[in-house]
Amino acid sequence: ALEPIAQALPHLPADAIALAMQTPEDSNPMKRIVFASQMTVDAQANASAWNMAEVLSGIPRIVATTQDQFVPQMVNLESVGGVDFKKGCYPGQEVVARSQYRGAIKRRLFLAKAQTPIESCPPGTEIFHEEDPGQPAGMVVLSSPNLNNPLWIDIQIECKSELAQSSKLHLGDASGPSLELGKLPYSLVEI
């Protein structure tokens, strides 16, 4: 049953996580999480587990507070097959293509975690670097409580690439909760 799903998602990396939403015809109230990897699993999840898996997938979900904030490459959509540079016309195509072919992207999506209440980390929350406290270094794209460790939240952040490996990133302001960066489940396409 998993093979048709994996074949329907040819642009995803082999070890990516594919999230399949419940259809209206499905009487089961649970959402399905399909992992397309070397060890395939078909599992059902409640909303909290779904949200955590969605954050950890590294595939962004743009919400009202983050719309119009990013070009596709800033949230790694070219690395997960989420944008086609050979497709016909669409709004913003010139900016997106120019960014891709000139290598002008200086910001990317990263996974992070922090010890803070989830209420303090909604999408759109700014990220700051200790050495430049007056200037936001990025923002939260998506966040979820970590079900394995309730003291932590998992976060997708978009931030300046040169600051991403710094241990000096903070949530909300330069003295806010520290962010600990994690590893994406896919490789970034070089721009």
Task: List, in order of start, the domains of the chain with CATH numbers.
Answer: 2-56 (no CATH), 72-181 (2.40.30.160)
Percent of the chain with pLDDT over 70: 68
Confidence of residue 169 (pLDDT cuts 50, 70, 90): very high
- Residue 165 has a pLDDT of 77
Q: What is the mean pLDDT of residues 52-77?
A: 91
Tokens of 52: 């955590």
- Residue 48 has a pLDDT of 85
CA separation (Å) from 58 to 23, 29, 150?
23, 25, 20
Is pLDDT larger for residue 157 or for residue 102?
157
Percent of the chain with pLDDT over 90: 39
pLDDT exceeds cutoff 60 at 36: no
Is pLDDT larger for residue 118 or for residue 157?
157
Q: Mean pLDDT over all residues of the chain?
A: 79
pLDDT exceeds cutoff 80 at 88: no
**Contact 111/188 with Cβ under 8 angstroms?**
no
Confidence of residue 22 (pLDDT cuts 50, 70, 90): very low
- Residue 23 has a pLDDT of 46
Q: What is the mean pLDDT of residues 48-77?
A: 91
- Residue 125 has a pLDDT of 96
| Selection from 164, 169, 125, 122 nearest residue 143 by Cα | 122
CA separation (Å) from 3 to 6, 7, 45, 186, 191?
5, 6, 20, 20, 31
DSSP-derived pairing of the beta strands 126-129 and 169-171: antiparallel
pLDDT exceeds cutoff 90 at 191: no
